[in-house]
Chains A and B, each alone.
Chain A
Amino acid sequence: MTKYMYICMMILTTILCCSCSSNQDDIFDESPSTRIKNTNQKVKELLESSSNGWYFDLFTATGGTNLLLKFVDGKVTAADYRDGISSAESFYSMIQNGGPVLSFNTYNSVIHAYSDPVSPGNNKGDNEGLGADFEFVVTSYSTDTIELRGLKHQRMCRLTRYKQDVSWETTLNTLSTMNEDIQAPLYAFYSNGQQVVKTNSINNNVLTTYQISGLDTIMITVPIVPTLDGFRTAYPFSYEAHDSNPKIQHFTFSKKMDRFVCVDSGVDFYIQKAYPPLNKVWTESTNRWWFNVSFINDTILKEMSADFATLFTNFHSTDCVPFGEKLYGGYMGYNESYPNDVNEHAFVFYSLKSTGSGYWKGVVGYTCTKVEGTNDQVVFSKLNPTLNKAYYPHAQTIGQEFVEKGPWVITVDNKKAPTSFTFTSTQDSSLYITVSQ
């Protein structure tokens, strides 16, 4: 018994000697909550300290854009150049949400246009919209720069102090012009004097290029945002495989050469804009081009000749109405379901379900080729109906119209960056239809 008592005493003595031998020092002087609260206060003071406001580089699901923001007494004024210059005022807060968070927490028609689940130009929501955030974790801050990370979509954004002694309007016009200058039908990328061989593009402010590593081809997709003298990518990229220090990020625009030159140290890279024939632009487009058609509420049959209007009306009344459905619309161009659907290019039509919720879809593939010896003519051929072909016979009929009435002459609204294509039949100049993004 005595032996056991000795053992117990030794164990207890050992524990007691270790247990409170020293207090654990706090790494920080204050609690996490207090530190976030203090940071929020500092960031708020910083935001409101800029009398001219801030540039806001905002990255969305489809690229980058610029806003100008000014913070005063808990309110934010935001200005944009997207649909002409516009501005709006709302409230903001610095809140705690796992860290210091800048929250634009009442509606602002400029800021929230990029996060509204109904995309601009779309009359129905898709739970995505343009996919931007309106709450941002402050990841770092200095006198002139505040780095942000979207709370939900995790995209890195940036606030930069507005120092220019020019009006917001002048700056927004400059950015808007640069945003237009970025656009071109096609681009040629040159790295170290050699053209990068794969198809490259800048589409909706997203730069796409390819890194070739041995037998592997890796697609690089980087959002870009206009700057006053060019653009910058959201993060640097490289054509070297496994490059731990990619450098290509900042570009200035050379108006004389019509190209964007990378200005990052040690980089020899530029992007040359190109203006190929319209029929090449169309046949190589990877966008969806929408007909101006809808029977959801009011009947919309715009930008087309009477023949096409009749075909769409018959489509709605014959293929949709008997099933309690309504023709919602349709597009031609790159088939969103490719390669699961074998058609890379297709006419795609949607009808609203009879329950008023959700859509049915019909797909008719096609091949479109340039007419040799022309810059602006194409022909359609090889119709290939796949999805729901039995339910949408008029999808085939509309496709047949394109096949039979060709060749078609293409005209566009903007040769630098077409947002709509108009097809006019060479057989009958009164027969036309316009599709747009």
Chain B
Amino acid sequence: MKRFQYIFFLLVSISTFSCSTDTIHSESVIDLGKDSSTDFDEWLTDNYTLPYNICFNYRYEDIETNKVYNVVPADYEKSIALAKLIKYLWLDAYVEVTKQVNPNLIHMYCPRVIQLIGSAAWQEDGSFMLGQAEGGLKVTLYDVNSLNLDDLDVASMNDKWFHTMHHEYGHILLAAKGYDTEFKLITADTYTSTGWSTYSTTEARCLGYVSNYAMSSADEDFVELTAVYVTHSQDWWEAMLEKAKQTKISASYYMAYSNGTKEVPTNATLKSVTTTDSEGKESTSYYLFYGGDATILKKWEMVDAYYQKNWGFSLSDLRSSVLTRSNSINTLDLNTL
């Protein structure tokens, strides 16, 4: 009987090892398809990949794009210019303000893929998307082919690309170190993840947000504040705050609010301001007063404190670096590597 048991266990042992003859190929089955290397590829390796571990895709890569949209690849010459601009206006600005206190910041926290796309991502209704980010790992910048190398417009470039870069980088830093939850309570009642697009930018600012998209969540509010602040001058910032105080309305609306035909928003008060011009002529303007400026400033102080406490730089320092660089982009050679 025992003999059978031995034979049985022997057979089981043999069957366990019987089919182990697979070999592993010496070559990887993954072909990156990069069959030609240009001077630009080498420049990207030296300036993005090796120092920061960033893969900068200027060639169209199907797998890295949103297939919902029909898009075209980025122009080679404009990709070179934008790669240099991104490095100068965005990457080097962070390096500059963190090099003393946090020299490894950019090395450790960075989008790992930057994908350029030539056209905007148009929707059927005529609206379009200029930037997209996925989980802090990849940033896609659209409409690269609209870059006018003969007439660089910083405001336009901020709207299209650099606002997105600062915004997404804010998310990456937030994911690494959280912020004070008090921030979420400041305008907790008016965050709306789906309804934000029904508000205009002016309306959003009166409610205490720097943009309507900031209304979508506290996290978006936080990084929008960062992106808007660092890409605009102090004069612009103060003018924006001034407008966030109140919104001008027509005399007929004022009457409607006054006699109760139209309901005054709960977070606003109605007021009229009469002024006299140099010829003694009086004119009256009508406003709904919101006080969005105070709310925005309160949030800004918390955002600034977050960066100082956690990352060792202030928003003012970052903005100063970004604006100084913005003012000197015409001195850059964007055509040669």
Stretch at the interface among A15-23, A371-379, A400-408: A15-23
Chain B residues near A6: list those with CB within 8 A: 4
Residues of B within 8 A of A2 (CB): 1, 4
User: Which of chain B's residues have a CB closer than 8 A to the CB of A216?
Assistant: none
B36 beta carbon closer than 8 Å to chain A: yes
A91 to B71, CA, bound (A): 17
Which residues of chain B are within 8 angstroms of A145 by Cβ–Cβ distance?
A: none
Q: Given A106-B75, A107-B74, A115-B72, A125–B36 Cβ distance below 8 Å?
A: no
CB < 8 Å: which of B70, B75, B78 contacts A115? B70
Contact B126 A124 (CB under 8 A): yes
Which residues of chain B have C-beta atoms less than 8 A from A103's C-beta?
Answer: 59-60, 62
Q: What number of A residues sit within 8 Å (CB to CB) of B?
A: 56
Q: Contact partner of A15 among B15, B63, B128, CB < 8 A?
A: B15
Stretch at the interface among A33-41, A204-212, A232-240, A386-394: A33-41
Query: Considering the complex, which residues of chain B in the window 1-15 have a beta carbon less than 8 Å from any beta carbon of chain A?
Result: 1, 4-5, 7-8, 11-12, 14-15
Of residues 83 to 114 in B, which have CB atoms within 8 Å of A's CB atoms?
Answer: none
A152 close to B (CB within 8 Å)? yes
Which of B70, B78, B79, B122 has the largest number of chain A CB atoms within 10 A? B70
Are B70 and A95 interface neighbours, CB within 8 A? no
Q: Chain B residues near A129 (CB, 8 Å)?
A: 70
Q: Is residue A155 contacting chain B, with contact meaning CB distance below 8 A?
A: no
A125 cross-chain contacts in B, Cβ below 8 A: 119-120, 122, 126, 128
Residue of A whose beta carbon sits closest to that of B70: A117
Q: Is B278 an interface residue (CB 8 A)?
A: no
Task: Tell whether A94 is near chain B: CB-to-CB under 8 Å.
Answer: yes
In the complex, the answer to whether A19 meets B19 with C-beta atoms within 8 Å is: yes
Apart from A20-B18, A107-B78, A358-B125, what are 20 other A-B pairs with CB-CB below 8 Å?
A2-B4, A16-B15, A23-B21, A31-B29, A33-B29, A34-B27, A74-B36, A91-B59, A93-B33, A93-B36, A103-B59, A105-B59, A105-B73, A107-B145, A116-B118, A118-B122, A128-B70, A131-B70, A357-B127, A359-B125
7 A-B interface contacts by CB (under 8 A) = A9-B8, A19-B15, A40-B31, A106-B76, A107-B76, A112-B73, A115-B70
Residues of B within 8 A of A (CB): 1, 4-5, 7-8, 11-12, 14-15, 18-19, 21, 25, 27, 29-31, 33-36, 38, 58-63, 67, 69-76, 78-79, 118-128, 145, 200
